[in-house]
Each structure stands twice: as C-alpha cells, then as structure tokens.
Amino acid sequence: MPEPPFDVPRLPAGDAFVLRPWTLADLPLVEEASADPYIPLITTVPAAYSHAAVERQWDRATRGTGWPFVVERVTDGRAVGTVGLWSAPHGRASAGYWIAPSARGGGVALAGLRAVTGWAFAALGLARVELYVEPWNTASRRTAESAGFRVEGLLRSWQEVGGVRRDMLMYARLPADSEG
Ligand SMILES: CC(C)(COP(=O)(O)OP(=O)(O)OC[C@H]1O[C@@H](n2cnc3c(N)ncnc32)[C@H](O)[C@@H]1OP(=O)(O)O)[C@@H](O)C(=O)NCCC(=O)NCCS
C-alpha cells in the first residue's frame, strides 16, 4: 500500500471514459449530484453543494484515505460521475460510485468500477476490493456483479442512511475472480 499523499492518476476506463482527479471545474457535477435524492445520503456530497465538496476529495488523497476519481466521457470531455477507492488495512480497499442522473443508463459505473478495480490489483497490489450495496439498489448490484464482484452476505443494520439503519449486501472481488 502506498504512503500518503496518494497520487490520483489518469486511467482509461474502456474506450468511452477516463478516470482522472477532481478539479474545481467539476462543480457542475457536484451540483447535479446534490439534487439527487440518494447520493447526498450515502456520500459526502452535500445537499447544498460548494467548493468544499471538491476540496474534501483532494483532502482524502492528501491524508491517504483514498483515491477519488471523476469519470470523464471521452467524446465531449464531460464529467459524468465518480468512482472512488477507499483504503483499508490488510491489503483491502472499498469502492464506491455514483453517476449523474442525466448520464445514467449506459453502464458508466461499470466502466469506472472495472477500471478502478483492475488498477487496485495491478498497480496497488491490493488483495481484495469490497463494495456495500443496499439490497433494493438493483442498478448498483448489476454493476457490481458485471464487474466480477460476488455477494458474500447481508450485513444487518450496517449503517444509518437518511436517519434510518439499513442492511447492506457485502460484495467483494479478489484478483483471481473473473468478471461477471
Ligand atoms: C448505481 C448507479 C451508479 C448505476 O449507474 P449506471 O452506470 O448508469 O447504471 P445503468 O443504468 O447502466 O444500469 C446498470 C444495470 O442495472 C440495470 N438497472 C438500472 N436501473 C434498474 C432498475 N431500476 N431496475 C432494474 N435494473 C436496473 C440496468 O438495466 C443495467 O443492467 P445490465 O447490466 O443487465 O445491462 C446509478 O444508478 C447511481 O448513481 N445511483 C445513485 C448512487 C448509488 O446508488 N451508488 C451506488 C451505491 S452502492
């Protein structure tokens, strides 16, 4: 595992997207996400967005808590979503993602998750990438399964989301697991 500050590289994500570090020019992406009913409940995207949302992403790389990426569409250079890898002890990390509502329906999260997971194994040498998904979240479950993540169990009352304790499915992928 590298030492902080973490370098957030630019990575290809299939042919249609690239993963890259956050910039202040990404504020419109945060603005769109902040209006989504679910994203502010499960991420640090605030319902009232500001520069602080981007600065928090930089801070995560600086403090060594993770690698936050923006998913950029190659055809028009537009920032359409995010994928992040959050470091954990013992060669593990957890991944998270959200896509701007206007860019959903085209497998963007799958492209981003595949890219970040492949990089976690090949470049960081991690042994396990984990994901936590609410059971009702079919789009996220499909994304995880298509990227080769396997469900390992239901974590009951795992975390509070929107003021309510929620169960989470734990997914994980190991380097030897094939894609779904
Ligand atoms: C989860 C999320 C990132 C997926 O975005 P996306 O990449 O645009 O995903 P898509 O809409 O292309 O859907 C992926 C798959 O789920 C399926 N799907 C999407 N919405 C669905 C729904 N409401 N019911 C059933 N299936 C659905 C799609 O058909 C697709 O299936 P396929 O793999 O068989 O083709 C996006 O919905 C999002 O940002 N949600 C809010 C934040 C969130 O939940 N993040 C994940 C937390 S664990």
Q: Is 40 in the pocket of ligand 1 (CB under 6 A)?
A: no
Report CA(5)–ligand 1 centroid distance (Å): 32
pLDDT of residue 3: 84
Evaluate whether residue 162 is within a structural domain: no
Q: Is 143 in the pocket of ligand 1 (CB under 6 A)?
A: yes
Evaluate whether residue 22 is within a structural domain: yes
d(CA 61, CA 35): 25
Alpha carbon nearest to ligand 1 atom 28, residue = 139
Evaluate whether residue 111 is within a structural domain: yes
Query: Helix 108-122 to helix 138-146 angle, to the nearest 10 degrees?
Result: 40
**Radius of gyration from C-alpha coordinates of the chain:** 15
Report CA(98)–ligand 1 centroid distance (Å): 9
Q: Which two tokens stand for residue 31?
A: 């603005």
Q: Tens-digit pLDDT profile for the chain (180 aa)?
A: 788 888 999 999 999 999 999 999 999 999 999 999 999 999 887 776 678 888 888 888 888 899 999 999 999 999 999 999 999 999 999 999 999 999 999 999 999 999 999 999 999 999 999 999 999 999 999 999 999 999 999 999 999 999 999 999 999 999 999 886
Q: Measured at the alpha carbon of residue 38, what is the angle toward residues 34 and 44, in degrees to the nearest 5?
A: 55
Domain count, the chain: 1
Evaluate whether residue 5 is within a structural domain: no
Range of the domain at 70: 11-129
d(CA 34, CA 104): 15
> What CATH number is attached to the domain comprising 110?
3.40.630.30
Evaluate whether residue 120 is within a structural domain: yes
